[in-house]
Amino acid sequence: MALTIMAIERKYRIPDGVVAAYPALSLSKKKFTPSLLLALDDPILPYPFLKLCINCYVGDYSNHPEIDPDHCQYLSPASASDHTLRQFPKIRIMVA
């Protein structure tokens, strides 16, 4: 999805479609979504493992506020502007 956002911003050709396999739309460590709350006691993907994965992917951004997942639309596509999201192509989201 980050590639699509970049294409929109830079006025490149937008993909004809996007296929997202269980996408992480928000990597914010401050927001508690229903899926995060369900992961607290999930036996397959427990919260400590999920938190470890997010920390490994995002890293320490204290010295780089431009990659703060609360505001960086490339890490958290849910934080992209409505103007950008309206230009997205059709999206197929795969979930299990």
* Contact residues for 56 (Cβ-Cβ < 8 A; gap 6+): none
* Contact residues for 95 (Cβ-Cβ < 8 A; gap 6+): 22
Q: How far apart are CA 85 and CA 77, in angstroms?
A: 9
pLDDT digits (tens, 9 = 90+) for 37-89: 777 788 888 888 888 888 888 877 767 777 788 888 988 898 899 999 999 99
The CB density around residue 62, as the number of other CB atoms within 10 Å, is 7
Q: How far apart are CA 51 and CA 31, in angstroms?
A: 13
pLDDT digits (tens, 9 = 90+) for 35-50: 777 777 888 888 888 8
pTM of the model: 0.76
Please give the residue that has the higher pLDDT: either 62 or 15.
15
Closest residue by Cα to residue 75 from 18, 21, 28? 28
Determine the pLDDT at residue 67. Answer: 77
